[in-house]
Structure 1
Amino acid sequence: MFTIEHDFDATIITLIDEGSPSLREDIVIRAADDRVSVAQFDAGAQTEAVVTLSLSQLRDLAAALDLPEGSYRLVRKTP
């Protein structure tokens, strides 16, 4: 399950783990104009872990999900 909210400066997506037997904490994705942050609460450490990606890193991640093992560089085509 997930939710989507639109703030004035970002879109916020929350991923809610409905799986069993071991449920994970919600993941909150905050997409702004120049970056995307992924956050998850760590109950053991009582802290929130946050990873911030540039839009270039996000594009690379999206491409990597569909590629086999290896080293790649994406080249954007100019119109």
Structure 2
Amino acid sequence: MFTIEHEFDATVITLIDEPESAPLQGDITITAFDDRVVLRQDEPDGDRYSEITLSARQLAELRAALNLPEGGYRLDPT
């Protein structure tokens, strides 16, 4: 299950782990701003979280990498 919310300065997507998956993982919140994307995963116990911030360039590279074979790449700076 997932939710999408549009806030003033960001779009927030929350990926909610379903109970039938084992082991249960913490929910993931993805907050997309104009210049960065922040991924936050709650720990299953609910007391802590891990956070990763990707620049817009890193996000573009990740998007490209999902559709390319093994190798080293550099995107054109366009």
Q: TM-score, normalised by structure 1?
A: 0.85
- Counterpart secondary structure, 1:62: helix
Q: Provide the aligned C-alpha RMSD in A.
A: 1.8
> What is the Cα deviation at residue 21 of structure 1?
2.5
Q: What are the superposed Cα offsets for residues 31-52 of structure 1, whole Å, 9 maximum, x if unpaired?
A: 0111000000124693211100
Which runs of 5 or more structure 1 residues have no equivalent in the other structure? Answer: none
One-letter amino acid of the structure 2 residue matched with residue 69 of structure 1: E
Q: Which 4+ runs in 1 deviate beyond 6 A?
A: none
Equivalent position of 2:15 in the other structure = 15
Taking every aligned residue pair, what percent have the same amino acid on both sides?
A: 56
The 1-side partners of 2:44 and 2:27 are apart by 11
Q: Which moved more, 1:42-51 or 1:10-19?
A: 42-51
Q: What are the superposed Cα offsets for residues 6-47 of structure 1, whole Å, 9 maximum, x if unpaired?
A: 000100000112242222111000001110000001246932
Which runs of 5 or more structure 2 residues have no equivalent in the other structure? Answer: none
